[in-house]
Amino acid sequence: MEPFTAASTFEPDFAVEPKRFTGSAAAPDSMPGNGVEVAHTRSGTGPPLVLLHGLGESRRSWEPVVPGLARRFDVLAVDLPGFGDSQPLPARCEPVPSAPAAAVAGLLDRLGISAPHLAGHSLGGWVALELAQIRPAASLTLLAPAGLWRRHTPLYSRASLRATRWLTCHAARALSRAADYRVGRALVFGQTHGRPTHLTPEMARSAIDAMGRCSGFDPTLRATIRRRFVATTPSDAPITVAFGSRDLILLGHQSRHLDQLPPEARLETLPGCGHVPMADDPRAVIDLITRSAVNR
């Protein structure tokens, strides 16, 4: 349901039984977000893979792809601070993307995970870039990543976000009723998804609920409006960036300036997918993340 959102610079079919547990992200004292409780779900075996969701979403947005990824990876799906079941950041910490990145870094330290593969969607892509600035990463797969605009978050994306947030806060019951029907899901999710009828009613209601009740939405949006991703530390991690061919949120001329990434970053297209490709085409997303990790 999340219509979009690194150092951040201020400028005018295989079932895996998940191991569910919540840990304290004990980030270093020099990092913001120290002590935040980060909710997460872990499943599968293999090299570690961390999944980071978008603004207004939760780790549940990755559910269509987790079973397939868990065949090859030890998958850690995380709720960023202030979203899903995770605590918000302390009031003293401005929720720029480096702050949730530090909280996730603390969680990884606690779990003994040193250099995971990272996959981030939208805001989560920006957070993944920030995370790779402060600790090693094996690879980065960025699905419609935020932060790749020239100066400020484009007005079009901000307006889309705020409209979605308002509707989920003030008309959640009507939206949830509409989600019971294919035509209703097509209307409610037509901007964010390329194939909105691929959502099940339960997935649709979960997305509506996540957007409407998350405490981190407004402060995170305010913190990122006048920021973009700016690399401060070279990273050896290979980067794959993918946008859906039907992404109507992050428009090409506004929000896809890949020259802000290392020149080795590889760009791919997810045919028929919108801004949230995990539900549009789970197999394509699984294949993309797997290829990005294996071919690093």
Domain range enclosing 114: 8-294
Domains identified in the chain, total number: 1
pTM for this structure?
0.88
Confidence (pLDDT) at 262: 87
* 3 part of a folded domain: no
Distances (CA, A) of 244 to 64, 77, 111, 140, 281: 16, 22, 33, 17, 10
Confidence (pLDDT) at 296: 61
Task: Tell me if 211 sits within 8 A of 164, measured CB to CB.
Answer: yes
**Which residues does the chain have with pLDDT short of 70?**
1-34, 296
Confidence (pLDDT) at 187: 96
Confidence (pLDDT) at 263: 85
CATH number at residue 83: 3.40.50.1820
* 70 part of a folded domain: yes
* 207 part of a folded domain: yes
Amino acid symbol at 113:
I
Confidence (pLDDT) at 14: 32
* 2 part of a folded domain: no
Task: Tell me if 246 sits within 8 A of 274, measured CB to CB.
Answer: yes
Kind and range of the H or E element at 293?
helix 282-294
